[in-house]
Amino acid sequence: MASTVTKQLRYSTFDVGSMPSRKNKGQTKSVRISSNGRRVGVRCGFERTYSIVDYRLEKPEFTLRQVRKGDGVEYEVEGDLGTAVPPIRESKYLDKKQSIEIYRWMILNRKMEAALENLYKQGKVVGGVYFGLGQEACSCASAYALKPDEWLGPMIRNQGSLLVRGFSPRDIMMQYMAKAGSPTKGRDASSHFGDIQKHNVVAPISTLGDLIPVLAGVALGARLQGRSIAVMTYIGDGGQSTGVTYEGINFAAVQNLGLVLFVENNLWGYSTPADMQFRVKDLAERAIAYGIPGVIVDGTDACQVYDAAHEACERARRGEGPTLIEAKMMRMKGHAIHDAAEYVPKALLKYWRERDPITRLENYLLNRKWLTPAENRELIASVDQQLEADREFAVNSPMPAPESAAAGVYCNDDCHKIKPKYSKPKVRSTSRSAVPHASELAVHLK
Ligand X SMILES: Cc1ncc(C[n+]2csc(CCOP(=O)(O)OP(=O)(O)O)c2C)c(N)n1
Binding mask 238-257 for Mg ion (x = CB under 5 A): x-------------------
* Identity of the residue, 334 or 400, whose beta carbon is nearer to ligand X in the bound complex: 334
**Contact pick of 150, 210, 237, 298 for Mg ion (by CB under 5 A):** 237
Positions in 179-198 near Mg ion (CB under 5 A):
none
Strand partners, 5: 54
In this complex, which beta carbon is closest to Mg ion, that of residue 160 or of residue 258? 160
The interface partner of residue 242, options being ligand X, Mg ion, none and the CB cut-off 5 to 8 Å by kind, is ligand X
From the CB of 270, what's the least distance to ligand X, in Å?
Answer: 4
What is the spatial distance between Cα 52 and Cα 256, in angstroms, rounded to a whole number?
19
Which of Mg ion, ligand X, none lies near 364, with the C-beta cut-off 5 to 8 A by kind? Answer: none
Angle of CA points 74, 78, 80, to nearest 5°: 145
Give 242 or 363: the residue with its C-beta nearer to Mg ion: 242
Using the rule CB under 5 A, give the single segment among 158-166, 228-236, 409-417, 431-439 that binds Mg ion. Answer: 228-236
User: Residue 208: which of Mg ion, ligand X, none does it interact with, CB under 5 to 8 A by kind?
Assistant: ligand X
Q: Given the complex with ligand X, which of 9 and 141 has the nearer CB atom?
A: 141
Contact 329/299 with Cβ under 8 angstroms? yes
Using DSSP bridges, classify how beta strands 30-33 and 39-42 pair: parallel, antiparallel or unpaired: antiparallel
Q: Over the range 149-159, which residues count as b (16 or more CB within 10 Å of their CB) and which as e?
A: ebbbbbbbbbb
Length of the chain: 446
16 contacts 35 by C-beta, under 8 angstroms: no
Which of Mg ion, ligand X, none does residue 270 bind to, with CB < 5 to 8 Å depending on kind? ligand X
Binding residues with Mg ion: total (CB under 5 A) = 6
335 contact, one of ligand X, Mg ion, none, CB 5-8 Å limit per kind: ligand X
How far apart CA 64 and CA 62 sit, in angstroms, is 7
Which residues 6+ apart lie within 8 Å of 114 measured at CB?
Answer: none
Distance in Å, CB of 131 to ligand X, minimum: 10
CA pair distance 421, 198, nearest whole angstrom: 11
- Provide, rounded to whole angstroms, the least separation between the CB of residue 446 and ligand X: 30
Residue nearest to Mg ion (CB): 236
Q: Closer CB to Mg ion, residue 331 or residue 391?
A: 331
For Mg ion, give the closer residue by CB, 258 or 294: 294
List the single partner that 225 binds among ligand X, Mg ion, none, CB under 5 to 8 Å by kind: none
Which residue has its beta carbon closest to ligand X? 236
Q: Using CB under 6 A, list all residues that contact ligand X.
A: 157, 206-208, 236-239, 242, 264, 266, 268-270, 331, 335
Member of 236, 299, 334, 357 binding Mg ion (CB under 5 A):
236
Distances (CA, A) of 356 to 51, 331, 336: 29, 11, 19
Least Å distance, CB 275 to ligand X, is: 12
- Specify the residue, 55 or 268, whose C-beta has the smaller distance to Mg ion: 268
| Contact yes or no for 171/337 (Cβ under 8 A) | no
Helices 96-121/136-143 angle, 10° precision: 130
Helices 136-143 and 302-317 sit at what angle, rounded to 10 degrees? 30
**Letter string b/e over residues 315-350, b meaning 16 or more CB atoms within 10 A of that residue's CB:** bbeebbbbbbbbbbbbbbbbbbbeeeeebbbeebbe
Give min distance, CB of 14 to ligand X, in A. Answer: 34
How large is the angle between the packed helices 357-367 and 136-143, nearest 10 degrees?
A: 60
Q: Of ligand X, Mg ion, none, which one does residue 294 interact with (CB within 5 to 8 Å by kind)?
A: none
Nearer to Mg ion, 266 or 304 (CB): 266
Nearer to ligand X, 14 or 278 (CB): 278
